[in-house]
Amino acid sequence: MDKNCIPYGSDVSAGTFECQDCGDVITMASRSSLPPCSNYSSLTHIKKCWKNLSGQGDAPNDPYPNK
Ligand SMILES: [Zn+2]
């Protein structure tokens, strides 16, 4: 799964997600399915996916350089 574009309805773990179409940010408190964006419109939302900003497990966005 591309964590930069996770389609609506995908099952994800808790974390923060940013709408790829409008930049709206949502927080998922627990594992569940991603909802459509609250600003969703077929005219403005063509990607219909979320970017995973933070979460558990599969996002090695470690702010510390680690050699
Ligand atoms: Zn949106």
Q: What is the pLDDT of residues 8-46, one digit of tens each?
A: 999 999 999 999 999 999 999 999 999 999 999 999 999
From ligand 1's centre to the CA of 46, what distance in Å?
9
Distance CA 67, CA 5 (A): 28
Distances (CA, A) of 11 to 35, 50, 64: 10, 12, 29
Q: Which of 44, 56, 40 has the alpha carbon at shortest distance from 8? A: 40
Sketch the domain layout of the chain as residue ranges.
Answer: 6-55
From ligand 1's centre to the CA of 62, what distance in Å?
26
pTM over 0.85: no
From ligand 1's centre to the CA of 63, what distance in Å?
27
Q: What pLDDT band is residue 59 in, cutting at 50, 70 and 90?
A: very low
Q: Report the chain's C-alpha Rg in angstroms.
A: 13
